[in-house]
Amino acid sequence: MKDKFVIQGLSGRKTLSGKIKVNGAKNAILKVMASSVLFEDGIEMKNIPDIEDVKRLSELLGKMGVVVSKKNKGIYSIDAKKIKYCELDREISERIRASIVLTGPILSRFGEVSFPVPGGCVIGARPIDFFVEGFEKMGAEMEFKNDRYYIKVKTGKKLKGAEIFFRAPSVTATETFVMAGVLAKGKTVLKNCAIEPEIKNLADFLISCGAKIKGAGTSTIEIIGGGLLKSKGKIYKAMPDRIEAGSFLIMGALCADNLEITDCNPNDIEILIEILKDAGVPLEIGKTSIKIKGNAKLKNKDFKSIGFKTKEFPGFPTDLQAPMVIFLTQATGESLVFETIFEGRLNFVEDINRMGANIILLDPHRALVKGPTSFRGREVESPDLRAGLAFIIAGILAKGESIIDNVYLIDRGYERIEERLQKIGVKIERIS
């Protein structure tokens, strides 16, 4: 069913207040779930939010005989004892890009893997050349027929360790080959790896279950292949979602007087904190929380507009680009936003301009944002998960009512977002 959100805007008033808790990180959890294929027994996971992508990946694993059971609030157990090889289901794997990371564990455990062309999403083409080239270097060969990739190691041998240099730091490619290396024969060396915190979070858990991985979180990672892993009841606790934390922080800067963002890791969004502090947002940074205090006495036009460029970690995260553009539409000045990672990730600006923003799209990667501008509520459709949250922020600060269609995309990564926002004073309802 196509749910919608209806939001009554605050017309620029800063009335949100209270506490909002950050959930476990979607982009860490999905990869740990995929790593269950590397295990002889199974894995226990906690701090797992109730989001669509977790449900989709559970279904995908279920088709391979991996039993994913939700024990109670946020606790999952994944039993891989009865896993059997099968081709990745097209309908499900096209819906979540993260399913691509399953190729590493499946190929290294079963010697073959078959998957459809991953669903390109609106933020840009999502090539998988790094994956195909890397598997070929590890002794597999790829065939493409009836819209599916078939990758097999040559005549029943196991994947063998190799040296792989990524032409660009790719998050899911790095994670996929760390997992492929765990069961491959011999040593795998990965160079020019992505260094996002989710990668170290995954590796630390695998190491605690016996994997031999060195260098995760740096650009060179070494993996010594061995047998199936055994968790022996070790529990994976999901790290806080840095993109959720950053989105709530930007929302608070624009619409809250006193707001505390709890259960987060400020170190993972240092660059956003620095930019918002330089813009004039009153922040107090704790060990696991961020407080916005006495913000109502400031108007958003008192904030300085500061341009930014998205970069791989520790640069400005592309997943926070859309919410940050909303911030710049309210601050005073003219700033350039340079989206260096994806070519389709600025398309949402035309909908924001229809709400009253003054953003000029210079080319698919660069936009000029002039502020301050006042927003009027409109009906908009969220094009992707992260722009969806930017539309919610725009709807909250606007004058009048906004309707956001296709909130499935938002539910993919944010658990019952409307209930959590109602608790801090947002007038938002879900209608089916």
How many H-runs (helices) and E-runs (strands) does the chain carry?
14, 23
Among 18, 62, 120, 127, binds ligand EPZ (CB under 6 A): 127
Q: Any contact of residue 216 with ligand EPZ (CB under 6 A)?
A: no
Measured from the CB atom, is 268 or 319 closer to ligand EPZ?
A: 319
Structure tokens at 193: 């790896």
Measured from the CB atom, is 199 or 261 closer to ligand EPZ?
A: 199
Structure tokens at 285: 């940074």
Residue 181 to residue 394: CA distance in whole angstroms? 44
Measured from the CB atom, is 131 or 303 closer to ligand EPZ?
A: 131
Q: What is the CA radius of gyration of the chain?
A: 22
Q: Any contact of residue 130 with ligand EPZ (CB under 6 A)?
A: yes
Do residues 326 and 394 touch, judged by C-beta distance below 8 A?
yes
Q: Any contact of residue 330 with ligand EPZ (CB under 6 A)?
A: no
Angle of the 171-183 helix axis to the 103-110 helix axis, nearest 10: 20
Q: Any contact of residue 309 with ligand EPZ (CB under 6 A)?
A: no
Cβ contacts of 322 within 8 Å, gap of 6 or more = 345, 348, 386, 387, 389, 390
Q: Which helix (H) or strand (E) element contains residue 18?
A: strand 16-21
Residue 113 to residue 170: CA distance in whole angstroms? 20
Pairing between strand 366-371 and 401-405?
unpaired
Measured from the CB atom, is 92 or 171 closer to ligand EPZ?
A: 171
Among 128, 179, 229, 320, binds ligand EPZ (CB under 6 A): 128
CB atoms within 10 A of CB 354: 13
Residues of this chain, 228-247, that bind ligand EPZ according to CB under 6 A:
none
Residues of this chain, 11-50, that bind ligand EPZ according to CB under 6 A:
27, 30
Among 95, 97, 152, 242, binds ligand EPZ (CB under 6 A): 97
* Cβ at position 402, least distance to ligand EPZ in Å: 22
Q: Any contact of residue 152 with ligand EPZ (CB under 6 A)?
A: no
Residue 112 to residue 104: CA distance in whole angstroms? 10
Cβ contacts of 12 within 8 Å, gap of 6 or more = 299, 300, 330, 374, 397, 399
* Phi-psi category of residue 260: left, alpha or beta, with phi > 0 → left and psi -120 to 50 → alpha: beta
Site string for ligand EPZ, 351-370 (x = CB under 6 A): --------------------
Is 121 a residue of the active site?
yes
Measured from the CB atom, is 129 or 302 closer to ligand EPZ?
A: 129
* Cβ at position 123, least distance to ligand EPZ in Å: 6
Q: Any contact of residue 341 with ligand EPZ (CB under 6 A)?
A: yes
Q: Any contact of residue 62 with ligand EPZ (CB under 6 A)?
A: no
Among 238, 385, 392, 426, binds ligand EPZ (CB under 6 A): 385
**Token pair 């989206």 in the structure block, residue:** 339
Measured from the CB atom, is 27 or 108 closer to ligand EPZ?
A: 27
Site string for ligand EPZ, 158-177 (x = CB under 6 A): ----------x-xxxx----
Provide the binding-site residues for ligand EPZ, judged by CB under 6 A: 27, 30, 97-98, 126-131, 168, 170-173, 194, 318-319, 341, 385-386, 413
Catalytic residues: 121
